[in-house]
């Protein structure tokens, strides 16, 4: 179904991102996994590869615009395109409730989405 397509997933180390990566790989896409935690990305890549899929890791903090631009350029250089983009990166802060949210923590949350 997605054979020959390239999928880039941010937030791919856990949760919705890793689940989406596994499903897209099962559908035949080559997966580029991005996120802040390299060890978790490697685990997802290993799961994809053990199921017969293709995956590579590209560690990245999506709050860093320059890093995102470099990552996108690296993917284009390696694959020539991105057919599917899944932006599932997020951040969970202990002070995420409105009554305890500081302006700095709000900016951190917004910077990731």
Is 54 buried (19+), middle (13-18) or exposed (0-12) by CB count in 10 A?
middle
Assess whether pLDDT exceeds 80 at residue 59: yes
Structural domains in the chain, sorted by start: 6-112 (3.40.50.720)
Higher pLDDT residue, 105 or 31?
31
Higher pLDDT residue, 9 or 95?
9
Q: What is the pLDDT of residues 2-32, one digit of tens each?
A: 999 999 999 999 999 999 999 999 999 999 9
Least confident of 38-42, 47-51, 100-104: 100-104
Positive or negative, the CA dihedral 98, 100, 106, 108 is negative
Contacts made by residues 45-50, CB under 8 angstroms, sequence distance 24+: 47/22, 48/21, 48/22
Write down the pTM of the prediction.
Answer: 0.84
Q: What is the per-residue pLDDT for 22?
A: 97
Beta strands in 1-113 (DSSP E): 6-10, 30-33, 54-57, 84-87
Q: Classify 54 as helix, strand or coil.
A: strand
Are the CB atoms for 55 and 75 separated by under 8 Å?
A: no
- The mean pLDDT of 83-93, rounded to a whole number, is 85
């Amino acid at each position: 179904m997605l054979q020959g397509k390239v999928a880039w997933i941010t937030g791919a180390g856990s949760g919705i991102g890793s689940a989406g990566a596994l499903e897209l790989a099962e559908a035949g896409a080559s997966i580029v996994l991005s996120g802040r935690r390299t060890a978790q990305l490697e685990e997802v890549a290993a799961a994809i590869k053990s199921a017969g899929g293709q995956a590579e890791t590209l560690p990245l903090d999506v709050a860093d615009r320059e890093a995102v631009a470099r990552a996108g350029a690296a993917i284009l250089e390696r694959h020539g395109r991105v057919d599917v983009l899944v932006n599932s990166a997020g951040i969970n802060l202990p002070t995420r409730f409105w009554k305890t949210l500081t302006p700095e923590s709000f900016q951190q949350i917004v910077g990731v989405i």
